[in-house]
Amino acid sequence: MNAKTQPHDLPEGACLTAKVPDRDQALLGDVVVNPYRLAPLTAIIRDGGRTLSAGHVRVLGRGERGVDIVYDVSDRSLWTYGGIPVFGLYPDHVNQVEVSYKLDGERIRERYEIYAPAVRLPVVAKQTAALPEVEPVKVAPGFEKRLYLFNHLLAEIPGGRAFKWNGLGGAAEWDSVGNNWIADSNGDVRWYLDIEQIHDSNHRDGLGGTMGFHQTRDGKLIWGQGQTYSKYDLLGRKVWQRNLPDKFADFSHEIRETVNGSYLLRVGTSDYRRPDGKRVRSIRDHIIEVNEAGDVLDFWDLNQILDPYRGELLETLGKAAIQLADGVKKQDERLANELAEGDLPFGDVPGVGTGRNWAHVNAIDYDADDDSIIVSARHQGVVKIGRDKQVKWILAAPQGWPARLQDKVLKPVGEGFEWSWTQHTAWLTGHGTLTVFDNGWGRDFGPTRLTGNYSRAVEYRIDEAKGTVEQVWQYGKERGDEWYSPITSVVAYQAQTDTQFIYSASVSFLTPEKLTTSVLNEVRRGTQEVVVELKVHSRQPGSVGYRALVIDLDKAF
């Protein structure tokens, strides 16, 4: 075999070497690393003008414990990419890549050596590595081929500057750099998003943390970022990237595909007129539904559906003053720290009333059975809302809800029931239950504590007709502080493996002198049997995990 370097145009920082077979009659075209400039650990082996079919790729694992990445390539993908897409290269390594394909009815097999460059991402002071370290603690047989996408956020913006909205109440834009990568079950980086291609703190449409990653039914990735939302494939090829519709602003946390092919996004509004006449930017309190073309099909204004002046949990967290607008009466005496109008600013600050972060919606799900949405509002609870904008039920402690919603609060039945507190994600499982990540900050309206806390992945069964809720499973409570994540995190049922996928993403967040740790688990449904545990150690001050998810290559190519 002779080493051949294929000439082509490369983006700055990308490198390429490829060793290919001598048989010129079987040799394909150039090997292009990072073909779309967004995913540096991918490549395309060009077809060289030939018509290929039935592609197959195997990226060989590195070292004794290395994980092979193996997948088939559809004819559609061979045509789309003009060759064979290669996913899962190790960074700063000469990768061994085996491919096969049919050409003129003959099955041809070849091996390529493809160098991928080292990880290159923004850095901050005292950082010790480009990405967090993923430490495999346990990987049970049958889970060795798992691929996990990690979505972390870095609060400090390297070289950035503050960017604030000065109109309509002065709501500060929430900016952050996203670290987004895929690791295999051995903890090795096999893909990452070159965030500098899409994030820019000095421009409006480049602001915001990349959040809400999901893999769609067609294998693509969706996410949102500040004033935009996007859909790309795993090679970094853009399907679309759009600005939010003009009536809305400030995406973060969640974008979801529905079974109808539409998308649900958590946003605020760019211009909201309150009952007192003030015009503000509303904060994390609207859900919009858009179609594939970006047209708004519907929206849910939680200021009208819920009660933006319910402040029980905000008061408990000790981070917000409770301020009532002129003419608004207190629900009860728990809202004892009412301030004079004007003492609490508008903007992305915890507080009651439209124009402040009273709801903090962090997750959405869609129930096709009755065309409803399920909303996780961190500062209020979990709520199911119909297309008619009427509340069907509320999964939250009963204190503080107004009279018109009190009968919507579910009544606990069964043994061992606990409410969820400052929860993240509230997603249907597909077998009649709902999973919630119960963060536990502000539990039982108690004060913030640095020790003696716990978080849980919890599964509830809700009887809408009877208005009851039963707790059927939980995991994590017994692990206490070493598994406690006061913010972020996720639990999502995996039908293929019948496991609950859990990411406790912000351990040690309340201890500023410590770097955060995240713990990824897969637990067999209905049991305490852990089949996967990975610990993710931050190596960047200010970095915190948001979510993670399982990546399915079978539908990607």
Mean pLDDT of 499-521: 93
Q: Are strands 279-280 and 248-249 parallel, antiparallel or unpaired?
A: unpaired
Sequence-ordered list of residues with C-beta below 8 angstroms from that of 121, at least 6 positions apart, any chain: 130, 131, 179, 192, 194, 195, 196
> CATH 2.120.10.30 in the chain, residues?
133-551
Residue 326 C-alpha from the chain's centroid: 38
The partner residues of 474 in beta bridges, in order of sequence, read 458
Answer yes or no: are the C-beta atoms of 223 and 213 closer than 8 Å: yes
Tell me how many degrees the CA angle 336-337-339 measures, rounded to the nearest 5: 130
The pLDDT value recorded for residue 293 is 96
**CA distances for 59 relative to 77, 95, 143, angstroms:** 17, 7, 18
Least confident of 7-11, 52-56, 232-236, 382-386: 7-11
* Residue among 379, 424, 431, 537 flagged as catalytic: 424
351-384 exposure pattern, b = at least 16 Cβ within 10 A, e = fewer: bbbbbbbbbbbbbbbbbeeeebbbbbbbbbbbbb
Gap between the Cα atoms of 308 and 311, Å rounded:
8
Quick check: 101 and 56 in contact, CB under 8 A? yes
Q: In which residue ranges of the chain is CATH 2.60.40.3100 found?
A: 30-116
Cα–Cα distance for residue pair 503/426, rounded to 1 Å: 14
Distance CA 56, CA 87 (A): 12
**pLDDT for 473 beyond 50:** yes
> Nearest Cα to 238, choosing from 39, 31, 12?
39
Residue 334 pLDDT > 70, yes or no?
no
Residue 318 has a pLDDT of 57
Q: Tell me what pLDDT residue 202 has.
A: 80
As a whole number, mean pLDDT of residues 409-423 equals: 97
Q: How many CB atoms within 10 Å of residue 340?
A: 7
Asked whether the predicted pLDDT for residue 317 surpasses 70, the reply is yes
For domain 30-116, give the CATH number.
2.60.40.3100
Alpha-carbon gap, residue 504 to 487, rounded angstroms: 9
Percent of the chain with pLDDT over 70: 87
Of 148-152, 431-435, 512-516, give the lowest mean pLDDT range.
Answer: 512-516
Residue-wise pLDDT tens digits, 127-176: 899 999 999 999 999 999 999 999 999 876 665 555 555 444 434 457 88
203: annotated active-site residue: no
pLDDT band, very low/low/confident/very high, at 406 (cuts 50, 70, 90): very high
Mean pLDDT of the chain: 89
Q: Which CATH class is domain 133-551?
A: mainly beta
Location of structure tokens 């969706």: 222
DSSP code string of 386-403? ETTS-EEEEES--TT--H
The pLDDT confidence band at residue 542, using thresholds 50, 70 and 90, is confident
Query: pLDDT above 90 covers what percent of the chain?
Result: 75
Return the pLDDT at 173. Answer: 57
192 has pLDDT over 80 = yes
Tens digits of residue pLDDT in 59-89: 999 999 999 999 999 999 999 999 999 999 9
**Has this prediction a pTM greater than 0.75?**
yes
